[in-house]
Structures are given as structure tokens and as C-alpha cells.
Amino acid sequence: MPALPQISEAEYEVMKVVWKYAPISTNEITDRLTQTTTWRPKTIQTLIKRLVTKGALTYEKQSRVFVYTPLIDEKEYIGQKSHSFLERYYDGDITAMLSSYIENDKLSESEIDTLRSLLLKGTQKGRE
């Protein structure tokens, strides 16, 4: 899997909006983010430009408006970030990570039930 661009936490907030609403204009991105952050429009525009430079977004000019679409897939990005987190903090051992979360009450009963369901699906696939 080719390495995806390094995206800061702030840039990730912009990406979440673009992933959800693409194609989306600069003004629409700004409107959505000013409702959920304390960022000024100029800050948001700077973050958008950085994401274009990094190859995470592309744009098309439609008359006087710039419309953005993602160049990287959300699930692929999250998957890569999850993998690096697992490697960095748990030496790639998912069992150690889950044990840590469970022992420190970081998972709700609902989340544990969801994990059980996913594990059952995984073991059933392995038998097919």
C-alpha cells in the first residue's frame, strides 16, 4: 500500500467535511467548520491549500467557485492511521491494545458486543 500524505489533526477535520459532502465548495467547507470550530475562514482556507499541496484534495474551478473532492479514500486513510497507531503504541499487537482498552474501562458494553459480533463474523468467514 503506498504511503498516504501526513495529515495534521486540523487538516483531518477539513478532510472529514470533504469526505462527507464532496464535491464541496470553499464556502461550504468554511460554513461547516466555523459551526464546529473556533477557526477563522482564512485558517480554513490555509488548511485546504495545504491539503491540495499534499495531494489529499483536488479542486475544480466552477465559474468563480472552487469545488473540492478528496484524492484519498477515507477508509484507506483511517486504516493506515490505525495500523501505524497499533505499531507505534502496541508493537502491532491488537490483543494488547484491546486488553488495555478493556482493563481501563475505555470500551462500553455496546462496543464490546460489536467487537464480539465482528470476531464471530471473522471466524465464520475463516470456516467457509
Same domain as 99, residue 69: no
Answer yes or no: do 82 and 112 share one domain. Answer: no
18-69 tens-digit pLDDT: 999 999 999 999 999 999 999 999 999 999 999 999 999 999 999 999 999 9
If asked whether residues 82 and 110 sit together in one domain, one would say no
Same domain, 80 and 104: no
Q: Does one domain contain both 71 and 114?
A: no
> What are 74's three cell numbers?
477515507
pLDDT for the residue 73? 95
Number of domains the chain contains: 2
β-pair partners for 66: 61
CA distance 10 to 39: 10
Domain extent, residue 28, equals 1-92
Q: What share of the chain in percent tops pLDDT 70? A: 96
d(CA 25, CA 69): 9
Residues 55 and 100 in one domain: no
Q: Give the span between the Cα atoms of 123 and 50, in whole angstroms.
A: 42
Domain shared by 16 and 72, yes or no: yes
Residues 6 or more apart whose Cβ sits within 8 Å of residue 65: 25, 26, 27
CATH number at residue 42: 1.10.10.10
- The number of residues making up the chain comes to 128
Structure confidence by residue, pLDDT tens digits, 42-53? 999 999 999 999
80 plus 122 within the same structural domain: no
- 112 and 73 in one domain? no
Shared domain check, 117 and 56: no
**77, 7 contact by CB (below 8 A):** yes
Across residues 92-99, what is the average pLDDT? 88
Q: Do 42 and 102 lie in a common domain?
A: no
